[in-house]
Every structure is written in structure tokens, then in C-alpha cells.
Structure 1
Amino acid sequence: MNQANNERFLELAQFLRTRRARISPEQAGLPGGGRRRTPGLRRGEVALLSGVSVDWYTWLEQARSIQVSAQVLESIARALQLDPDERKHLFQLALQQPPADLNPAESSISPTLQGFLDQQGISPAYVTDQRLNIVGWNSMANRIYGNYEAMSPRERSTVWRSFTSPYVRQMLQENWETHARHRLAQFRASYGKFAGDPWWMELIEDLNQASPEFREWWPQHDVLNGPEGKKINHHPSAGMLVFDQISFLVAGSPHLTVTINIPSKDDDTISRLIKLQSN
């Protein structure tokens, strides 16, 4: 085991011991009583609550290099009553990756984030969740991409719209395939965290039925997490709009992604957006 991994497992062991020490048997739903040499739960009690063997949990607290699954980490997080930040820290130490969010299907965003979107002016901006559903937007995004308020939850799926909406195809024209493949690769990368989840399986099956392109491209297993870059839209009334796209995660809500399409200064996009905004 190299030095970096050794330090990581030591940190994990210390973290587990401190979390175990702060929980009484009564708080964990176990019978109390009896004298204890140390505060909190015993290793065997954490193992019992987590559904693992005492030896295995002891090795974990001894900083041994052992394999641990996300499912077992979730059990340990529940047994130790970790809050969301502590749970995230546990996964980073044990697996060097954050946990899949337990509530990925939020249908709204905070007033602060909505205010940020509204301040983007003529730049269409929106927020997507881990499922690539639109969960927040500003008025310019509504004017360009469609009336999100009037859409069903399925229609606010960026993947579903990319493959089934005639309006999206009209907006993207010759760039549609590049966009659709990019969106599908993002969807495949996100699906890796939730493989087998019923919501994802239902959408995949429906897309297989609705789109021949999806049926052809889905088995190719392309994955992508990077930014989309330059984007060209052909709006039915405003004409051609050219944007530079930037995306970033929301601090405190890393399952939410903010995307802002910044109007290009090298053409008439800004004047066209100002005119569209005034109509």
C-alpha cells in the first residue's frame, strides 16, 4: 500500500472511531447499562447495526487495506447516524468518490439559486439534477427553449426532449446529432451511479421505443462529463443565436448543475436576444 493510500485509510479509521465514540447505545436503539471503558458504541455494536462481521469492521478501524462496497458504507453511515457532510466524507475516504445522492429528484431549487438565474439577464440559464431533468430556469431560457412551466416532468428531461422533440431538432438543425450524442453520453455517465434504478430503467425503455437513434447509440456506452462549449440555436423568431456555454456544480448541492449560455459578442446574438426579451 502506497503512502497516500496509507494516510487515507488512517484518516478513515480515525474518523470512524470519533463518530462511534459520540453515539450512546440508547441513541442507536440498543440496550444500555453496564460500565464502559470508553464512551459511545463498541466496535461489535457498530458491526451489528451495519450488518457486517466484527472482524471486518475492526480491520476497517485498524486502517487495513480492505475492499468496501458503497452498500456497506451506506449501512455504516446509518449506524453511525452521519449527517450528509459526514456521509460524503466517509465515501471520499473509503472509495475516493462521493456517494450517489439519496434524493436526486428534487423538483425545485432554492430562492437564492433562482435569484442567481434571474440575474443572468439575456443569458439563458437553467439547473439540471442528476437525472438531467430541468429543475430551475430563468425567463430567457423559457423564451428560447420552451415554456418549462407548462411542461410535464418527462418533457423537462433534457434527454427525452433531445431525442423526441421536433422543436429541439428544429432549434439545433445540423448540430442536432452532435448535441444528442453529447446529452446521451452525459446520461450514460450519470446512469453509472444508479444502474438498475427503476426510474432510469423506465426512461431507457421508453427512449428505446420512441427513438431509433437512441436504440442505435445507447449500446455504444459513450460517457462524457465535460462541458458542452459553443452552442448554436436557430430560434423560430429571433433567428440564429450563438452562445458560449459554461456549467458548474452548486456548492452544498453537488447533484445540481447550473448551465449558463453566454451570448457571443462576435455576431448579432446580443441584439437579437434584447429584441426577443422586449417582445
Structure 2
Amino acid sequence: MSSGELGAFLRARRAQRSPGDAGVVHSGRRKVAGLRREEVAVLADVNVDYYTRLEQGRETRPSAHVLDALCRALDLDADAREHLHRLAGTAPPGTPDPAPAVVSPQLRQLMDGSPRTPAFVLNRTLDVLATNALADALFAPFDRADNYARMTFLDPAGRHFYAQWEWTAQAVVANLRVAAGYADPALPGLVAELSAGSERFRALWDSHSVRGKTGDPKHLHHPEVGPLTLIYQAFDVRSAPGQQLILYHAEHGTPSADALALLSSLHRTAHDTAGKRWSPAE
């Protein structure tokens, strides 16, 4: 990963850290948002010139000890700490290669064996690599369910489908930022496309927020069955690092469970395993 990405991340997170939250005593009017470079350097107990070189990309090999100190100074959470270490090349050994674009037959069989649960597979850049029948039905309002970020920011259906669109948009960008730490070759092109098509994406991308997937409920609105509140789980596919299996489900006995069952029945005969499911390899 380039040192420019590391410096941009540090600058963005410094601007988001308020002096009051950091315990920095100050008086008078401040000319910068968030902390000054000098204040971050003091909080992290590093030389201010050294920290300045990190932000400017002139220092490219910070130690893990320095990065840990910066994480504390900037109050980074676990996802942001891992991201910072990955940008600097000090993260534990992993798999930097792009996630495989092909989903194994065994995983597809597992997904198709859960007809009452929307199931789909994403890679680090949020490409939708595979879906089961109920996921196809759930994503039917979109012109093409090929990439979760495109669906959110570029497809007009996204604004109606995601009942809490702004929250979804922030989460999607924070998820997509994780891919930056892996230097995924598909990411720059995707970011350029999203930036050209969405002013809101550009603003969120520049914030450098980073977060892995959480278990927060999804509030959706499907044109055929109405509002849906779905809980989801994300599972790393150990046989294909970088792929994640996403499962949605509704609490038993709720209106959302009834609506999901209705959606399943409406689309039960519409799903064609060979012809309807799309993948980037096609």
C-alpha cells in the first residue's frame, strides 16, 4: 500500500479527533478541525517532525510500536487499528491477493439448501459473487445486483430499498475501506466509478472511516412485500480468503418473517440456478 494512503488516513482521523475528547487543554480560536499534528505527536510520544513525515508520505516504515501509540492517540477502534497496521505493512501475515471470483460448488449447495434464508457471497470490494433464490428475490428491485456499493450509491432503487439509506451508505463505505488495506487491484476503478456518480460517496470516502461488518439489523423496504427488518450474520469463507457468506433472517413470528415467507412464495418458481444467478466471471 502506498505511503500516500497511510498519510491520508492519519490526516482524516486526526481531523475527526476533538481536543476535548483527547484531553488536550487549549484556549482561543483554533485554525484546524480536530487535533494539530503537534498534539498528536505529544499524545503518541513521538517526534513531531517524524509524525509530519508520516502524514506527508516521506516516512514509509513506522514501527508497530509507533503505530500502536498513534492508535491510542487517535482513539482508533479495532477495525481502524487493523487497517492502519495493514496500510503500514505491519499487520500479521495474511492473504493480500484478491478474493477468488468463483464460489465453490459446495458453498453454492449450502446456500441453495437454505430456501427460507437470503444468502449471498461478497468479496472485499463488495462484489456479489453468488446468491440463492431468496436473495435474488430480495434484490429484485435493483437493475443488477452485482456490487453492494453500486447498488447503494448508483442504482436509484437503493434510496427506496434501504429504509435507513444514510446509515447504510456510511456502513458500505466503511466496509469498502477495508479493501484498501489489501491493495485490491479492483478497488481504484470502483472508487473512481462511485466518486464520479455520487457526491455523497466522495464525501464519505474522504472521511477514511473503516469498519468491518456488524450484526446490526437491516431495515429494508421491498416493493412487493413492504418493510422488512432483518438480522444478518457474516461468515469468512476459510477455503476462499476474502470471501464472506452473508445470511439474512427475520425474527420468528414477526411481520418481517411473514413478509419474507411471502417473498419466497412469490419468487419460488422464478429462480434459475444456471441462468439467473450472475457472477463477474460471466
Q: How does 1:51-70 map to 2 (within 5 A)?
A: none
* Contact 2:120/2:129 (<8 A) preserved: yes
Give yes or no for contact 2:141–2:222 (8 Å, CA) kept in 1: no
| Cα pair distance change 1:129/1:272, threshold 3 Å | same
Q: Deviations over 1:237-258 (max 9, x none)?
A: 1111111111010122221101
TM-score (norm 2): 0.59
Structure 2 residue aligned with 1:261, among 248, 253, 259? 248
Aligned to 2:92: 97
Q: Which of the pair is proportionally richer in helix? A: 1
Unmatched 5+ stretches in structure 1 = 1-66, 70-93
AA partner of residue 250 (structure 2): P
C-alpha separation in 2, matches of 1:264 and 1:207: 34
Question: What's the counterpart of residue 174 of structure 2?
Answer: 185
Count of residues in correspondence between the two structures:
182
Residue of structure 2 aligned with 1:252, choices 224, 233, 239: 239
Q: How far is the alpha carbon of 1:96 from its aligned partner? A: 5.3
The alignment partner of 1:240 has SS state of strand
Residue by residue over 1:87-137, the C-alpha shift from the partner in whole angstroms, topping out at 9 and shown as x without a partner, is xxxxxxx95523344243x33311110111112222111100122111011
Counterpart for residue 31 of structure 1: none
User: Which of 256, 263, 272 is the aligned partner of 1:276?
Assistant: 263
1:162 to 152, 158, 161: 152
* Change beyond 3 A, Cα 1:266–1:181: farther
CA contact (8 A) 1:122 1:140 kept: yes
C-alpha contact (below 8 Å) 2:97/2:182 kept by paired residues: no
Residue 113 in 1 paired to residue 107 in 2?
yes
CA distance in 1, matches of 2:182, 2:254: 40
Is 1:122 aligned to 2:116, yes or no? yes
Give the conservation status (yes or no) of the 8 Å contact 2:95–2:241: no
Q: Residues 98 and 157 of structure 1: is their aligned pair in 2 closer, same or farther, counting only changes over 3 Å? A: farther
TM-score (norm 1): 0.59
In 2: Cα distance, 1:255 partner to 1:190 partner: 9
Aligned-partner Cα distance in 1 for 2:101–2:262: 31
Matched, 1:131 2:144: no
Identity %: 23
Partner of 1:204: 191
Amino acid at match of 1:223: V
Closer/same/farther in 2, CA of residues 203 and 277 from structure 1, 3 Å limit? same
SS of the residue corresponding to residue 241 of structure 2 reads strand
Please list the CA deviations of residues 224-276 of structure 1 after superposition, one character each: whole Å capped at 9, or x if unmatched.
01414211111101111111111010122221101101112252122222222
CA RMSD in angstroms comes to 2.6
Q: 2:204 aligns with which of 206, 210, 217?
A: 217
Q: 2:165 aligns with which of 157, 167, 176?
A: 176
| Structure with max Cα Rg | 1
Aligned 8 A contact 1:125 1:140 in 2: yes
Q: Does 1:144 align with 2:138?
A: yes
CA distance in 1, matches of 2:208, 2:253: 36
Q: Is the 8 A contact 2:230 2:251 kept in 1?
A: yes
